[in-house]
Amino acid sequence: MEQDVNSPIMREFKHNQDVLVAIGNETRQAILITLAQETQDLGMRVGEIGRHTHLSRPAISHHLKILKDAGIVSVHKEGTKNFYRLNARNKMQDLRSLIDKILSLCE
């Protein structure tokens, strides 16, 4: 089946590709859940995320970079300290638009 790369649904998939990849990994899902449950305004440092997820610092940093590049997580720097927080509202609204388009095709 040949796909029209200029179709609205294909454009939506392409637009959301980085988010889909980022949230499709169980380790990143665990980090997102940890950040979502965090109540501090500043966010969480890598060490704090590690205490909740039991992941190594290098693993957390790797996954945070993917989440940050996808626009789901933001970083706030204070001196040499980095604080990560969930910042997914816009990206999740974009994803909702993709889901709505898929649902319209199912009718």
**Structural fold of domain 8-105:** Arc Repressor Mutant, subunit A (1.10.10)
Burial 58-86 (b: 16+ CB within 10 A, else e): eebeebbebbeebebbeeeeeeeeebbbb
Helix (H, G, I), strand (E, B) or coil at 89: helix
**Entry pTM:** 0.86
Model pLDDT for residues 9-54, shown as the tens digit of each residue: 999 999 999 999 999 999 999 999 999 998 667 899 999 999 999 9
Beta bridge partner(s), residue 84: 44, 75
Q: What is the pLDDT of residue 19?
A: 96
Domain ranges of the chain: 8-105
- CB 49 within 8 Å of CB 60: yes
